[in-house]
């Protein structure tokens, strides 16, 4: 299992703490420090629409100029943005066998999925 996020994000910290407390093994990928590949983003976009993967409620999105926000019209433009500004990706993303099993963190959802 692999958890994608940013180490200083509170929601990611909650997910990591929950996984550790429940002794669930996972690999953590900090896309702020390690980046994210175009191939990974393409894979995610086959599973979820860009409207779910881009966190439009976050500070990074709100800090973008209107032209940039309006230029996100398809997967290619979404990938360009997510690679340039990884903080705009909704997090955490929990993957198992290369499939997204959870987006964001909910203790209830994690319990149902992983117990």
Would you give the DSSP letter of residue 62? H
Query: For strand 99-103 and strand 93-96, is the pairing parallel, antiparallel, or unpaired?
Result: antiparallel
The answer to whether 6 and 12 are in contact (CB under 8 A) is: yes
Looking only at Cα atoms, what is the longest distance across the chain? Answer: 45
How far apart (Å, rounded) are the C-alpha atoms in residues 56 and 50? 10
| From 9, 12, 88, 103, the catalytic residue | 9
Would you give the DSSP letter of residue 115? -
Active site residue 22: no
Q: Which residues are catalytic?
A: 9
């Amino acid at each position: 299992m692999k958890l994608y996020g940013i180490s200083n994000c509170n929601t990611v910290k909650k997910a990591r703490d929950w996984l550790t407390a429940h002794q669930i093994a996972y690999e953590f990928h900090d896309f702020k420090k390690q980046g994210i590949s175009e191939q990974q983003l393409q894979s995610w976009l086959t599973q979820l629409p860009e409207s779910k993967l881009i966190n439009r409620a976050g500070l990074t999105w709100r800090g973008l100029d209107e032209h940039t926000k309006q230029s996100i019209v398809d997967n290619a433009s979404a990938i360009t943005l997510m690679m340039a500004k990884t903080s705009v990706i909704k997090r955490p993303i929990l993957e198992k066998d290369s499939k997204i099993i959870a987006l964001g963190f909910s203790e209830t959802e994690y319990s149902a999925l992983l117990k």
